[in-house]
């Protein structure tokens, strides 16, 4: 008995959608795996690249986070560059180029000579590679979210785009897991001298897998619909002014997610070690718990936003971050608090961030028409991350250094989330039910 044409067509569409989710997710996984590893090994990198005597101190940690922040500030450049390419020639070829650049740059970090080997040139080489990573990362988010939302079935964009955020959690957890494993099996001296290189070198095989998956990817139906027949460039319909306004509004809506996410999911290890005297292993355990809570709520939050709207789910997550931030800091600073209470607090903080990150990508994609979606959502996300994520470690560490106030991370997360709550109130409650603008 033959299979009906409609069934075959539905099966083929489902297969294309699955490939889009996987191909979009894998590059994002590599990006956040690397950024997580860099954050987890911040104190080691500080000693190897920013300290002449090989000793990690607060000043060298600040320089490490400055390099971290610089890479983030090149994300908007990458978003504009690759977004323009992706909106003109297509999502597929652009994402292939992006994952190649990202994988090569990450692998190079594992091969760079340290300060002890080549002196002051070492931090400059590291910073150059971080700039290449920033450019590629800036082109990753817009393309990944574009293909996920443009392939997603009607009424399921929140869930499909949530996979982008979910792979952020998986990448950070993978980075934390590799770091914890190395810290367990290697001596402290071995970890500091060469063991820290291993996680970065693993980006090479991961990049090969990502490349293969993206070579199998098809162009999105939304992009094909707006591309004139016989040409390689789509008709541009959105004005520059409209796009710029949407980008600014998107930044405001995302800043709380950006700041709280990096404060609790990436900056936390360095903060616990440099400000609270925690061991490397203790800091990693706290980070794993935070990222586990983050991962647990992302997909449910994305799916829930398809039913009740992006606005109530995202605002609920932002309010939870505001309420939980100071109590979390107080728990971590109190040596008499039982371990289970600290673990629960860190888990809850990560879960609150996940409630924002789940619906966030779909909400952002729905703000831009197809002709500028790659560029627009990539710029909003990368600019928000450049200012409020990439600078989080530098701002927090420097403010603690100057004020000796260890509650700075909480105040930073609270202030940015309050602004995002105000920006989210401008979103229509039923915007998630509209078709993607063409």
Q: How many Å apart are CA 24 and CA 91, to the nearest integer?
A: 10
- Would you list the domain boundaries of the chain? 14-217+240-433
pLDDT exceeds cutoff 90 at 284: no
Q: Residue 157: CB partners within 8 Å, gap ≥ 6?
A: 148, 149, 306, 362, 365, 366, 432, 436
- Coil vs helix vs strand at 1: coil
Q: Looking at residues 117-130, what average pLDDT do you find? A: 88
Q: What is the pLDDT of residue 357?
A: 95
pLDDT exceeds cutoff 70 at 6: no
Q: List helix spans (H) across 152-279.
A: 157-185, 188-190, 197-201, 203-215, 221-226, 240-265, 268-276
The class level of CATH for 14-217+240-433 reads mainly alpha
pLDDT exceeds cutoff 60 at 231: no
pTM of this prediction exceeds 0.75? yes
pLDDT digits (tens, 9 = 90+) for 130-183: 899 889 989 999 999 999 999 998 889 999 999 999 998 898 788 878 888 888
Give the position of tokens 């990049």.
Answer: 207
Q: How many Å apart are CA 434 and CA 438, to the nearest integer?
A: 12
Q: What is the pLDDT of residue 47?
A: 81
237 band by pLDDT with thresholds 50, 70 and 90: low
Q: What is the pLDDT of residue 58?
A: 63
The encoded tokens of residue 302 equal 């994305």
pLDDT exceeds cutoff 50 at 20: yes
pLDDT digits (tens, 9 = 90+) for 55-71: 555 667 777 767 767 77
Distance of CA 312 to the CA centre of its chain: 22
pLDDT digits (tens, 9 = 90+) for 381-415: 999 988 888 777 778 778 888 888 878 888 999 99
Q: What is the pLDDT of residue 427?
A: 95
The encoded tokens of residue 368 equal 């831009």
Alpha-carbon separation of residue 246 from 78, 258, 319, 419 (angstroms): 19, 17, 23, 16
- Consecutive H or E run containing 64: helix 58-73
Tell which residue, 331, 338, 267, 257, has the closest CA to residue 297.
257
Which range, of 221-235, 307-321, 340-354, averages the lowest pLDDT?
A: 221-235
Task: Calculate the average pLDDT of the chain.
Answer: 85
Q: How many Å apart are CA 368 and CA 118, to the nearest integer?
A: 47
Q: What is the pLDDT of residue 402?
A: 87
Q: Looking at residues 72-100, what average pLDDT do you find? A: 92
Tell which residue, 133, 122, 134, 142, has the closest CA to residue 50.
122
Q: What is the pLDDT of residue 272?
A: 66
Q: Looking at residues 236-253, what average pLDDT do you find? A: 87
Q: What is the pLDDT of residue 351?
A: 94
């Amino acid at each position: 008995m033959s299979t009906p044409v409609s069934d075959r067509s539905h099966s083929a569409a489902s297969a294309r959608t699955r490939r889009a989710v996987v191909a979009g997710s894998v590059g994002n996984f590599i990006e956040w795996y690397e950024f997580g590893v860099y954050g987890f090994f911040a104190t080691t990198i500080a000693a190897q690249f920013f300290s002449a005597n090989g000793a990690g101190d607060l000043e060298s940690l600040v320089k490490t986070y400055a390099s971290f922040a610089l890479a983030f500030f090149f994300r908007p450049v990458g978003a504009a560059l690759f977004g323009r390419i992706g909106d003109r020639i297509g999502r597929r070829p652009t994402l292939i180029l992006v994952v190649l650049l990202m994988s090569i740059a990450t692998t190079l970090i594992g091969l760079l000579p340290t300060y002890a080997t080549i002196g002051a040139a070492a931090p400059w080489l590291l910073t150059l590679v971080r700039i290449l990573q920033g450019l590629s990362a800036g082109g990753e988010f817009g393309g990944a979210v574009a293909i996920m939302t443009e392939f997603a079935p009607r009424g399921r964009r929140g869930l499909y785009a949530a996979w982008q955020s979910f792979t952020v959690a998986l990448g950070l957890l993978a980075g934390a897991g590799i770091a914890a494993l190395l810290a367990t099996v290697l001596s402290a001296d071995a970890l500091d001298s060469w063991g820290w290189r291993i996680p970065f070198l693993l980006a090479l095989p991961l990049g090969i897998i990502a490349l293969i998956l993206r070579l199998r990817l098809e162009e999105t139906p939304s992009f094909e619909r707006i591309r004139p027949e016989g040409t390689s460039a789509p008709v541009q319909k959105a004005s520059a002014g409209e796009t710029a306004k949407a980008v600014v509004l998107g930044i405001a809506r995302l800043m709380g997610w950006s700041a709280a996410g990096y404060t609790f999911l990436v900056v936390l290890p360095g903060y616990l070690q440099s400000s609270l005297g925690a061991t490397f292993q203790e800091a990693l355990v706290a980070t794993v718990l935070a990222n586990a809570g983050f991962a647990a709520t992302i997909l449910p939050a994305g799916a829930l936003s398809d039913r009740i709207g992006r606005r109530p789910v995202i605002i609920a997550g932002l309010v939870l971050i505001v309420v939980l931030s100071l109590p979390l800091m107080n728990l971590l600073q109190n040596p008499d608090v039982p371990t289970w209470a600290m673990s629960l607090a860190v888990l809850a903080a990560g879960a609150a961030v996940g409630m924002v990150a789940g619906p966030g990508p779909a909400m952002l994609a729905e703000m831009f028409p197809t002709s500028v979606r790659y560029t627009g959502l990539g710029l909003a996300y990368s600019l928000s991350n450049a200012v409020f994520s990439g600078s989080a470690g530098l701002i927090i560490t420097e403010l603690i250094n100057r004020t000796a106030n260890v509650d700075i991370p909480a105040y930073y997360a609270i202030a940015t989330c309050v602004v995002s709550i105000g920006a989210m109130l401008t979103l229509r409650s039923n915007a998630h039910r509209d078709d993607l603008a063409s």
